[in-house]
Amino acid sequence: MTPGKAGSVRLIDAPQPNASAGQVLLRTSKIGICGTDLEIIQGEYGEAPLGSEYLIFGHECLATVEDAPNNSAGVRKGDLVVPTVRRPDSCLNCQSGESDMCLTGQYKEHGIKGLHGFCSEYSLSDLNYLVPVPAELSDVAVLLEPASVAEKGVFQSFKIQERMMWKPTKALVLGTGPVGLLTVLLLKLRGLDVTAVATRPKDSLKARTVEKIGGTYVNANDQPITSLGKFDLIMEETGVASLAAEAQGLLNNNGVLCLLGIYRPNLATQDIGHSYDDIVLGNKITFGSVNANKRYFLSGIQDFRIIQQKFPGVLNSMFTRRVGPSDYSQAYNPTKDDIKSVIDFDLP
Ligand SMILES: [Zn+2]
């Protein structure tokens, strides 16, 4: 599509890219679609590579290495991989393997900001940003990128809480999109009692998925979140600012609220004096988390192995739409009950 131009998404014949030193040529197998793609389509976001008038989408990817230079990273032709999304700039964090903690905002992101994505038969990636995928996870590994976002949020929450003795028991997840459901899974693996809140009915696939994992699903249209009691850990993934503000009041003493949404301007009036007092008197923390570096993709692989054993079929059930590249427009028009749409390059 042409970034900034709503509705300019189209199928084109692009030249096959050539890998230069340090790069690999990837043959795409599957591409997952997420809210960021839809925002780029609406013209709200996205930046083409320098010198290109279009941006190729696709940052959630599973691919096979088609061609790799001799390298010490152990990347070989035929490897099944997930490429990470963000590429570093020269800042301290980026140069320390933490491009997700970039200080300047000058990073690039495949399929989003300044680099073509992977939603084409062939694409390029720096060979140092590939995550090897074991064959037994090949059918679910396209979920690894959204899982890495959940991994980072959960890891950072627990890391921050090393500031004290902390034994969380109750967690709340706001939002049951792919990242929300993956967060419920990660928190169940850590032994927490998890409640997930969204606005779909109790018999929806999202609600049933939460219950299948052993969580409690609440439809916010039936029950206000203020009636749910208090929580040690809250993961806010809806991007609804008023809900994020409300969630802070649901924290137990010493609790932590992790914000993972993208929030719109909202000039709500609220009693911020009471809100800050609550934070101080309860030693509470609210923090933000975005993107994920390679470390979180690797922990995602480990957790996927455990999830496949403990909750067989759950990751697979999240794929609600699978189309070939020629039917791409269906993938970019999800319904409210879709969880994850995938463009499968093995289909026409
Ligand atoms: Zn940086």
Task: Read off the pLDDT of residues 220-243 as tens digits, 9 standing for 90 and up.
Answer: 999 999 999 999 999 999 999 999
Average pLDDT taken over every residue of the chain: 96
User: What is the reported pLDDT for 269?
Assistant: 78
Between the CA atoms of 157, 162, 165 and 166, what dihedral angle is there, to the nearest 10 degrees?
A: 10
pTM, 2 dp = 0.96
Q: How far, in Å, from the CA of 113 to the mean position of ligand 1?
A: 14
User: What is the reported pLDDT for 23?
Assistant: 96
Q: How far, in Å, from the CA of 55 to the mean position of ligand 1?
A: 22
User: What is the reported pLDDT for 300?
Assistant: 98
**Closest of 77, 83, 76, 75 to residue 58, by C-alpha:** 83
**Per the structure block, which two tokens stand in for 71?**
């390298």
Mean pLDDT of 251-279: 92
Q: What is the rounded distance in angstroms from the CA atom of residue 292 to the CA atom of residue 145?
A: 8
**Closest of 188, 249, 197, 246 to residue 221, by C-alpha:** 197
Q: How far, in Å, from the CA of 95 to the mean position of ligand 1?
A: 7
Q: How far, in Å, from the CA of 87 to the mean position of ligand 1?
A: 9
Q: How far, in Å, from the CA of 38 to the mean position of ligand 1?
A: 25
User: What is the reported pLDDT for 45?
Assistant: 87
- Residue 29 near residue 63, CB atoms below 8 Å: yes
Q: How far, in Å, from the CA of 88 to the mean position of ligand 1?
A: 6
User: What is the reported pLDDT for 288?
Assistant: 98
Q: How far, in Å, from the CA of 224 to the mean position of ligand 1?
A: 40
SS3 155: helix
Tens-digit pLDDT profile for residues 267-302: 887 888 999 999 999 999 999 999 999 999 999 999
Between the CA atoms of 304, 310, 316 and 317, what dihedral angle is there, to the nearest 10 degrees?
A: -140
The residues near 218 (Cβ < 8 Å, ≥ 6 apart) are: 195, 196, 197, 225, 228
Q: How far, in Å, from the CA of 229 to the mean position of ligand 1?
A: 40
For residue 225, is it left (φ>0), alpha (ψ between -120 and 50) or beta? alpha
